[in-house]
Chains A and B, each alone.
Chain A
Amino acid sequence: AQSVAQPEDQVNVAEGNPLTVKCTYSVSGNPYLFWYVQYPNRGLQFLLKYITGDNLVKGSYGFEAEFNKSQTSFHLKKPSALVSDSALYFCAVRGGHTGRRALTFGSGTRLQVQP
């Protein structure tokens, strides 16, 4: 079985400060990892993914994430937060090439960026 943990229900950060949203995962074999963002009354928007290769993945809107195999983590980061980054963030995993195609999502982390 595959699972994702997002240990923080909410993260608060001041505008201009760096932000981190944590994610750890459990999956058989090599993981495919994804981050999505959800704004109020909207669907999920894709931010970035890790499939293979460089452990540091860069995505949309200045976000990046670092894959750490030994810690089974895939934390989302941004060097300087914007008020407009305030939203609900979901980490998701699926097993690698032969794993189940459906994504397993974490419970979500609400990011609040204060002006």
Chain B
Amino acid sequence: GAGVSQSPSNKVTEKGKDVELRCDPISGHTALYWYRQSLGQGLEFLIYFQGNSAPDKSGLPSDRFSAERTGGSVSTLTIQRTQQEDSAVYLCASSLGQAQETQYFGPGTRLLVL
């Protein structure tokens, strides 16, 4: 079946602009995760959604970052007033709801802030 998809695959923006990144999880997966991969920081957790529960936002680096998940499926990660240090690859993953389930990753969105 279809895997996790993300759009756009690449995004170039100017410092100070807002960006939206989209993730379509695997159908039937109730858990959705956002991670960020950057040269200096490696792979970092950002935010986690599980069903109708309140999201775990403990990894968001600043209040410029927010995410929502509509209808328990598609998720959008929004970065306001982008900074150059936001340049990274943003990865989305999804899994079935149980704790031991594997997280399957999308191809990522490469964000470059000029």
Contact = CB atoms under 8 A, between A and B. Distances in A.
A101 B50 contact: yes
Interface in B25-54: 31, 33, 35, 42-43, 45, 48, 50
Chain B CB within 10 Å — which of A94, A98, A101, A107 has the most? A101
Contacts, number: 56
Given A90-B43, A101-B31, A43 B48 contact: no
Interface residues of B, number: 22
Given A36-B105, A97-B99, A44 B48 contact: no
B102 A43 contact: no
Nearest to A105: B43
B16 interface: no
Contact of B42 (A34, A100, A107): A107
B100 A51 contact: yes
Contacts of A99: 99
A104 interface: yes
Contacts of A101: 31, 33, 48, 50, 56, 99
Contact of A43 (B31, B45, B108): B108
Interface string B97-110: 00110111111100
Contacts of B105: 36, 43-46
A43 B107 contact: yes
Contacts of B59: 102
